[in-house]
């Protein structure tokens, strides 16, 4: 494995609320009273990001192979300009949106988020990007829309994994509309202030920090608003193992392994596993989305 182990993460990570709760949200009240209440003393601690090297060399991107170092090795050849995102379905302004035009219209922010893969490894990533809600507003979501479906580029000439029947291509994902509109949900276009590397899903990928990593679909070319729950790649392949919701939950084990703890990449080979946090540490922000739902059934 190409991954280089480091031993530089020594203290516990707690979300710095102010890192993602930006001025616009606080002043404009966009996030509402619930989020404003979370900016309080004692909650803004240091969340130490993983290194650029770690974030860009240990990846899951099966379009480029199933090994953790395959994406870094093979994704360089992916052409990411021009790039359009088709936004269609239940929207007022369907069409092909040019990536660079989107970038000019969106408010760019840095969000330092925990990232937890269903395989039990985790990282902390300093993303750059914009709120998905703003992109949805650009297209104008119609009444009656309840879900958002996402699709990754299908281009086997540049994505060698797509020439093999590893997954049902293209990779697809989905969110409930309220999850998609949540202020924590972003489209990432960069890391550490640099454009998103191809292996991390260039030029833009979804990031939903309270869900397992497989929900955070890479290299998105299509976003469709629908009134029915869309099919999602891992759920289609293994419905008993990977649900539609895929919320990080230490109390609901994967059928083949525990989800109670995780291994922080870069923590060193012999570092202690750390407890996995409910909703990956974003419980205060997102638990209300799932009020009354049985999280064991809706895994
Ligand atoms: N299109 C696509 N998106 C994808 C994947 C993939 O194989 N193809 N892997 C997912 C999984 S399982 C994880 S953990 C994250 C990994 O993101 P990272 O490599 O940037 O850490 O991407 C997700 N998005
Ligand atoms: Mo994952």
Report strand pairing: 121-131 vs 261-264: parallel
Does 12 show up as a binding residue in the annotation? Answer: no
pLDDT in tens, 161-182: 999 999 999 999 999 999 999 9
Q: Best mutation site among 2, 55, 59, 61 for ligand 1, i.e. most ligand atoms within 8 A of its Cβ?
A: 61
Q: Is the pTM of this model over 0.75?
A: yes
Q: Which residues surround ligand 2, an ion (CB under 5 A)?
A: 60, 117, 213-214
Burial group, residue 1, by CB count within 10 angstroms (0-12, 13-18, 19+): exposed
Does ligand 1 have an atom closer than 6 angstroms to the CB of 150? no
Query: Are 21 and 78 a contacting pair, CB within 8 Å?
Result: no
When pLDDT is cut at 50, 70 and 90, the band that residue 148 belongs to is very high
For 200-212, the pLDDT digits (tens) are 999 999 999 999 9
Total residues belonging to the chain: 299
Question: Taking residues 71-84, what's their average pLDDT?
Answer: 98
Q: Could you tell me which of 168, 209, 172 has the C-alpha nearest to residue 187?
A: 209
117 in ligand 1 pocket by Cβ < 6 Å? yes
Which token pair is 294? 């049985």
Q: What is the pLDDT of residue 45?
A: 53
Q: Give the number of the atom of ligand 1 that is nearest the alpha carbon of residue 170.
A: 1
pLDDT tens for each residue of 250-285: 999 999 999 999 999 998 888 899 999 999 999 999
Is the CB of 61 inside a 6 Å radius of any atom of ligand 1?
yes
Question: Residue 211: CB within 6 Å of ligand 1?
Answer: no
Distance in Å, CA 212 to ligand 1 centroid: 10
Does the beta carbon of 56 lie inside 6 Å of ligand 1?
no
Class for the domain spanning 11-290: alpha beta
Domain layout of the chain by residue ranges: 11-290
């Amino acid at each position: 494995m190409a991954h280089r182990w480091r031993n530089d993460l020594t203290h516990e990570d707690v979300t710095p609320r102010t890192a993602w709760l930006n001025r616009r949200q606080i002043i404009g009240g966009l996030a509402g009273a619930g989020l404003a209440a979370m900016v309080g003393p004692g909650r803004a601690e240091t969340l130490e990001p993983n290194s650029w090297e770690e974030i860009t060399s240990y990846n899951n991107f099966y379009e480029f192979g199933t090994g953790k170092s395959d994406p870094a090795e093979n994704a360089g050849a992916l052409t990411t300009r021009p790039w359009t995102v088709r936004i269609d379905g239940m929207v007022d302004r369907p069409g092909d949106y040019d990536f660079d035009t989107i970038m000019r219209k969106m408010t760019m922010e840095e969000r330092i988020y925990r990232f937890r893969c269903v395989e039990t490894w985790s990282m902390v990533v300093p993303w750059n990007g914009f709120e998905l809600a703003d992109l949805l507003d650009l297209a104008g979501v119609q009444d009656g829309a309840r879900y958002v479906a996402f699709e990754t580029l299908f281009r086997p000439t540049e994505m060698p994994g797509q020439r093999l029947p590893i997954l049902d291509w293209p990779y697809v994902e989905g969110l409930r509309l309220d999850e998609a509109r949540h202020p924590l949900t972003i489209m990432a276009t960069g890391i550490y202030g640099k454009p998103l590397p191809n292996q991390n899903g260039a030029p833009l990928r979804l990031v939903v920090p309270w869900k397992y990593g497989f929900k955070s679909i890479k290299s998105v070319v299509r976003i469709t608003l629908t009134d029915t729950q869309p099919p999602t790649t891992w759920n289609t392949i293994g419905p008993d193992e990977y649900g539609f919701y895929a919320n990080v939950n230490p109390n609901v084990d994967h059928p083949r392994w525990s989800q109670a703890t995780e291994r922080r990449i870069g923590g060193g080979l012999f570092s202690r596993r750390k407890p996995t946090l409910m909703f990956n540490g974003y419980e205060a922000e997102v638990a209300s989305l799932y009020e009354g739902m049985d999280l064991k059934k809706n895994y």
